[in-house]
Amino acid sequence: MNSTTHRQIVARQQADETPLVRYLLSLLAMAIIGLFLILPLVAVLVEAFRDGWQAYMTAITDRYTRHAIGLTLFTALICVPLNTLFGVAAAWCIARFDFPGRSLLTTLIDLPFSVSPVIAGLVFILIFGAQGWFDGWFAANGFPILFALPGIVLATMFVTLPFVARELIPLMQQQGAEQEEAAIMLGASPWQMWWTITLPRIKWGLLYGVILCNARAMGEFGAVSVVSGHIRGSTNTLPLHVEILYNEYQFSAAFAVATLLAGLAIVTLIAKSIVEWRQQRQWESASS
Amino acid sequence: MSIHVNQLTKRYGNFTALDDISLSIDDGELVALLGPSGCGKTTLLRSIAGMEFADSGNILLEGRDMTFEPIRHRQVGFVFQHYALFNHMSVFENVAYGLRVRPRAQRPTEAAIRQRVHELLDLVQLEWLAKRFPPQLSGGQRQRIALARALAVEPRYLLLDEPFGALDANVRKELRGWLRRLHEELHVTSLFVTHDQEEAMEVASRIVVMNHGRIEQLGTPAEIYDTPRTPFVSTFIGNVNVFRGCVRNGAFHSGSWRLPLPRTLDTLHLAEQNAYIRPHDIEILRGPAADWEVRIRHVQPMGSRYHLEAIPVTDASAGPGPETESGRIMIELTRQAFKTLALDVGHRVGLRIHHVHWFHGATTLQ
């Protein structure tokens, strides 16, 4: 449906409702948004600065906070590129080839979305824990997985696995393979085809997936909480650090650190909107 | 730059896309693969290009077996039905693409690429669009750019998959003539797929008629039209009236109507036999000396020609009329003949049959 007819339909539906109903519905929507989205954000900011600017700065420059920031960034730095790679490969396979188990793979990619992150974390405990399948073999041999960086990375990878693939599969299916075939017919190697045709055509969708993947990688709590062990200055990511501070009744410090995550969310939203807008333009030009 | 296809067979599950196809195309020919959708023509084209691999049989290009050679060794230019232009590149870059992706040693200099692209854009008469992007072009312009892009790599073979299928009728007509002239100029061996018999007749020097993964007939447009080898070819190419009937006592009978038979048929007794008669092989007569009598039910002026629909006159004395597939008889007259006869709907006129195609089973009888 193009945007003109869509607008016409919206206009017609608007005309069908009485002004009172329209007014009430809008008010309700705004109330919900205010209550569930704006209010918490404002609360975070208010609480963060309750003890003043000085206390805020102290909280976010604290040694443990800085370590948590570093760990969160480092985890994202490993997980996002790997999941990008995986997502692109999976989307490529699913959108371009027909093979046995294709629909199973499509379903499996969604698994992390449908499983509670806590369960995901517990699965890793079950596999790598002291009483798990490997019976602590890794830890005993000087390469601990649980309550250490590898566990955090694994849990984060699991949780953020679907984002890039989910974004690319419908896009690549909609685009079809014809332009890629044309490139090959013109003598391009598969590698040249990928860099000159495939990637430029999916870049906005890819970026969108990467942004969402990154936001989740940095904000993940449940799965990481189970495998990390909450060792301050060692295995504490930002979301875990917020929880620890809060549990220690350091409310304004907890909220101060939370503003970092809230800031990340806002930056993500802005980046997402820009990419969405670019992508929409590309889709429109592709389908015209 | 000849193409030989030997006993090519391709199946998708239970569906046979290509059934033992053998075909020879000479250097510099412009050949149409014609058939209804699902007849295997696109599969055949993609197999020659190297985008599909057949289950058995082989493909020889210039005498060399290329059945399993990768695409880039075949030196084939391919034009897609939906253009497949690179939307994120300018027209210029689209045409230059095939030159830019060459290995460094074979890649022309930037100046040479520039010159080549401008020559090609000149050839397709779209030089002025070089800086535009494909979404800004009309369908006809896009397909011409796609052709220029395919020609940029100097292919030995040009394969076109329903090249005008997505275009408006008048643009399609214009591009047909243009493609034929271009071929006369370049003489690159070309093979194009179409389901439009008019397009095949107008553009190709030879036509391959396909149905159900088999070749029904291969010949010049005139051969295919004048001497169809199978009932399918006769009904698929041009219009035809199919009269159902039988053969007895040395004549063809359809209802109360009779037709003399060619010598090869008249000794047979056949319970079922069809007569295939082209609308323009029927002459309309005023008065006697006619084979059959009909009443005109519909007149459709088509410009230089008139299409008429008539139904058999069924008198008590004449007995039941003939049996046709639509119940009506299609007749085609020149404008001149129509005016001279001063015909109109409701008129009762005589018909004389000038030519009939007879088929025995699936083969033709002369």
Are B101 and A178 an interchain contact pair (Cβ–Cβ within 8 Å)?
Answer: no
Task: Give the rounded distance of the alpha carbon of A137 from its chain centre.
Answer: 32
Percentage above 70 pLDDT, chain A: 92
- Token readout for B262 is 């060619």
Q: Measured between beta carbons, which residues in chain B are less than 8 angstroms from residue A200?
A: 88
Phi, psi of B162 (to 5 degrees): 45, 60
Dist. CA A81–CA A87, nearest whole Å:
10
CA distance A42 to chain B (A): 43
- State how far residue A171 is from chain B, nearest Cα, in angstroms: 15
Instruction: Tell me which of 2.40.50.100, 1.10.10.10, 2.130.10.10, 2.60.120.620 is the CATH number of domain B241-365.
Output: 2.40.50.100
pLDDT in tens, A47-100: 898 888 998 999 889 999 999 999 999 999 999 999 999 999 999 999 999 889
| Domain definitions of chain B by residue range | 3-236, 241-365
Question: ipTM for the complex?
Answer: 0.83
Q: Residue B156: its chain A contacts at CB < 8 A?
A: none
Contact B101 A188 (CB under 8 A): yes
A203 to chain B: closest CA residue: B88
In terms of Cα–Cα distance, which of A161, A84, A78 is closest to A115?
A161
Domain with residues A51-287, CATH architecture? Orthogonal Bundle (1.10)
A11 touches B at CB < 8 Å: no
Instruction: Find the CB nearest A185 among B71, B86, B135.
Output: B71
Interface of B with A in 136-165 (CB under 8 A): 146, 149-150, 152-153
Here the tokens at position A231 are 């060792």
Which amino acid is located at A194 in the chain? Answer: W
Count of CB pairs separated by less than 8 Å, A with B? 60
Q: Which residue of A has its CA nearest to B51?
A: A181
B5: its two tokens: 């296809």
**For an interface test with B, which of A184, A186, A204 has the most B Cβ atoms less than 10 Å from its Cβ?**
A186
Q: Tell me which residues of chain A, numbers 189 to 218, contact chain B at a CB-CB cutoff of 8 Å.
A: 189, 192, 196-197, 200-201
Lowest mean pLDDT among A139-148, B25-34, B71-80, B90-99: A139-148
Q: Sorting pLDDT into bands at 50, 70 and 90, what band is B57?
A: very high
- Pick B87's closest partner by Cβ from A187, A188, A285: A285
What is the per-residue pLDDT for B298?
Answer: 93
**For a pLDDT cut of 90, what percent of chain B falls above it?**
57
Name residues whose C-beta falls within 8 Å of residue A237's C-beta, 6 or more positions apart in sequence: A68, A71, A72, A75, A152, A220, A224, A228
Q: Which residues of A90-101 are buried (b: 16+ CB within 10 A; e: fewer)?
A: bbbbbbeeeeee
Q: What's domain B3-236's architecture?
A: 3-Layer(aba) Sandwich (3.40)
Partner-chain residue, chosen from A179, A181, A187, that has the shortest CB–CB distance to B102: A187
B319, pLDDT greater than 70: no
- The string of pLDDT tens digits covering residues A143-192 is 888 888 889 999 999 999 999 999 999 999 998 899 999 999 999 999 99
The alpha carbon of residue B224 is apart from the nearest alpha carbon of chain A, in Å, by 32
- In this prediction, residue A2 has a pLDDT band, given cuts at 50, 70 and 90, of very low
